[in-house]
A and B are shown apart, each in its own frame.
Chain A
Amino acid sequence: MSGLVIGIVIAGLFVVVLFWFIAMYNVLVRKRIDCDNGWSQIDVQLKRRYDLIPNLVETVKGYASHERETLEAVISARNQAVAVSSDAAHAMEKGKAEGALTMALGRLLAVAEAYPNLKADGSFMKLQEELTGTENKIGFARQHFNDVVARYEESRQTFPTTIVAALFAFQKRDYFTVENEAERAAPKVSFK
């Protein structure tokens, strides 16, 4: 009789622990998915910037065709950035290419300052707002990515979820950091 009771208690405890483990496992999986989503959100915004650039270059060309060097620098920086794969393994390379693109764009917009007609052009103004918005969105997407990575890493490293994380080999996720000194010093794209 008492053996049966002990058996039931042990089985009950086992079930409780099992459910607890499942819950922790799900928490980790959910946070890992958040990281993946966060990463792809950055990508969405980067692609948006690639799509804006040809239009921008065309518009500027209409008013400042002899600024060929600057225009070509933007195009080539864009094409280089597009060419780098956007998966996490190439994050560093991608970051560098994006940094170079941001710099080239900054120079283009600085050049545009000298052309009042261009600055007054309706489609140029719209492109400018789109570009500022996209630059900001890239920044906020990266910020969000780092936030979700921080939450994932917190769960991965703290007790008790760390047991489950070790058991099922949940990989460490790296923060997005601006390694490139040049990008750190990149001029702000600002149209205020």
Chain B
Amino acid sequence: MQDEQLRERIKAYPGTLTYIDLIRKNKRESAVLVVLMILLGGVIGCLIGGAIAMGATREDMVVSAAIGFGAALVVACLGALWSWFGGSSAILRMSGAVEITRESDLELFNVVDEMRIAAGLPMPRVYLIPETALNAFATGRDPEHAAVAITTALRQKLTRDELQGVIAHEVAHIRHYDIRFSMLMATMVGLIVFACDAFLRGARHGMVRGARRSSGKNEGAAMVVLFVLAMVLALIAPLLARVIQMAYSRKREYLADAGAVELTRNPLGIAGALRKLADDTEPLVEAANRGTAHMFIMNPLRKCRRSHGEKSSLFSSHPPVSERIARLMALTR
């Protein structure tokens, strides 16, 4: 094992790219994401503020919209702070992951330890997801606050080399700071979807109440605006979920595969694991949702993911497995 590890450095990343470029890119994109999300929150607040004062004088509406904007900015900043500090634990809780100790699974811990040593990172926390589907993901805001999670079924199904490949893929996500971007993406978009839902419920409630009172013209106009706004927000929520999957470009998966090879120096391990993952068609219903699907090593929501004849669609969050395996096998030559 030892002397194999001392082989020449494999040229795993495409072109002159190194993981350091990826870190820079992810840090930058994460910052842009936070700013955009806070602004989006502000705009939504502005709309709500304006809608509430609908039918009043123009000045009142402007004031109300401004207050809504300010209040939403404050709320959005609080949301961003929550997302930054509490995002990873929220994601882990949502997926039903349970933290395990070294004693309960020595081999898994050793494999994680090996990979984080190869990457020169601190030891991440290790979680098991009690599910029968095969999948894994990593999360956290930086390598010092990172966690890897793997389903019990995947843990049991892989050989040591394949397990090493999967863990190396996840450690590569940690090393590249993909975890920061994907965590912020999942939690902040989640928050906005949640806020839209809450607003929709509130608006529906308000409409019912308003109808019961059945008052003058002005309130009738307000009702119409609230209704239109509600429709717009109802459309935004699922659209945002789509945006997550597209923005978290599929390129990151290829690069994490390449990063895994740089760490293990063994393309066969991760390729073998991907093959097993591709043969598993069971969706990860309970642990994943549209907001977190992009974080997993394999798209958890696809009902049927055959390794053959599958097409790379504009909206798919993960590249086709056959293509991922082909790229890995190219490295063995």
Q: Check A137–B2 contact: CB distance below 8 A.
A: no
Check if B98 is an interface residue, CB within 8 A of chain A.
no
Q: Check B120–A137 contact: CB distance below 8 A.
A: no
CB proximity to A under 8 Å, residues B82-140:
106-107, 110-111, 113-115, 117-120
Q: Check A183–B117 contact: CB distance below 8 A.
A: no
Q: Digitize A157-191: 1 where CB-to-B-CB distance is under 8 Å, 0 elsewhere.
A: 00000000000000000001110000110101110
Answer whether A192 and B5 are a contact pair too, CB < 8 Å, given A137-B113, A144-B119, A148-B120.
no
Q: State the main secondary structure of chain B at its contact with A.
A: helix
Answer whether A130 and B106 are a contact pair too, CB < 8 Å, given A143-B118, A144-B120.
yes
What is the CA–CA distance of A130 and B5 in the complex, to the nearest angstrom?
18
Answer whether A189 and B1 are a contact pair too, CB < 8 Å, given A129-B106, A137-B114.
yes
Check if A150 is an interface residue, CB within 8 A of chain B.
yes
What is the CA–CA distance of A139 and B264 in the complex, to the nearest angstrom?
11
Shortest CB-to-CB span from B228 to chain A, Å, is 53
What is the CA–CA distance of A178 and B7 in the complex, to the nearest angstrom?
11
B5's nearest neighbour on chain A, judged by CB, is A139
Q: Check B1–A129 contact: CB distance below 8 A.
A: no
| Chain B residues close to A by CB (< 8 Å) | 1-6, 9, 106-107, 110-111, 113-115, 117-120, 159-160, 263, 265
Q: Which 9 A-B pairs have the closest CB atoms?
A: A133-B110, A139-B5, A140-B118, A139-B2, A140-B117, A143-B5, A136-B114, A144-B120, A140-B114
One of B2, B117, B263, B265 near A41 (C-beta < 8 A) = B117
Number of cross-chain contacts by CB at 8 Å: 76
Query: Chain A contacts of B118 at CB under 8 A?
Result: 140-141, 143-144
One of B1, B113, B159 near A188 (C-beta < 8 A) = B1
Query: Chain B contacts of A135 at CB under 8 A?
Result: 1-2
Q: Check B2–A102 contact: CB distance below 8 A.
A: yes
Answer whether A150 and B9 are a contact pair too, CB < 8 Å, given A129-B106, A144-B118.
yes
Query: Chain B contacts of A133 at CB under 8 A?
Result: 106-107, 110-111, 113-114
Check if A70 is an interface residue, CB within 8 A of chain B.
no
Answer whether A126 and B106 are a contact pair too, CB < 8 Å, given A102-B2, A137-B114, A192-B160.
yes
13 pairs of residues in contact across A and B, judged by CB atoms under 8 Å: A129-B106, A129-B110, A130-B110, A133-B111, A136-B110, A140-B114, A141-B117, A144-B118, A176-B6, A178-B2, A178-B6, A186-B2, A186-B3
Query: Chain B contacts of A86 at CB under 8 A?
Result: none
Query: Chain B contacts of A141 at CB under 8 A?
Result: 117-118
Shortest CB-to-CB span from A133 to chain B, Å, is 3
Q: Check B6–A146 contact: CB distance below 8 A.
A: yes
Q: Digitize A11-39: 1 where CB-to-B-CB distance is under 8 Å, 0 elsewhere.
A: 00000000000000000000000100110
Check if A138 is an interface residue, CB within 8 A of chain B.
yes
B103's nearest neighbour on chain A, judged by CB, is A126
Query: Chain A contacts of B119 at CB under 8 A?
Result: 144
The size class of the interface chain A forms with chain B is 35 or more
B116's nearest neighbour on chain A, judged by CB, is A140
Other contacts beyond A129-B106, A178-B3: 8, CB < 8 A: A129-B107, A133-B106, A133-B114, A135-B2, A137-B117, A138-B2, A140-B118, A143-B118
A184's nearest neighbour on chain B, judged by CB, is B3
Query: Chain A contacts of B1 at CB under 8 A?
Result: 135-136, 139, 188-190
What is the CA–CA distance of A107 and B231 in the complex, to the nearest angstrom?
73
Shortest CB-to-CB span from A138 to chain B, Å, is 7
Query: Chain B contacts of A132 at CB under 8 A?
Result: 110
Q: Check B3–A183 contact: CB distance below 8 A.
A: yes
What is the CA–CA distance of A166 and B111 in the complex, to the nearest angstrom?
40
What is the CA–CA distance of A140 and B168 in the complex, to the nearest angstrom?
12
Query: Chain B contacts of A176 at CB under 8 A?
Result: 6
A37's nearest neighbour on chain B, judged by CB, is B120
Shortest CB-to-CB span from A183 to chain B, Å, is 7
What is the CA–CA distance of A37 and B140 in the complex, to the nearest angstrom?
24
Query: Chain A contacts of B4 at CB under 8 A?
Result: 139
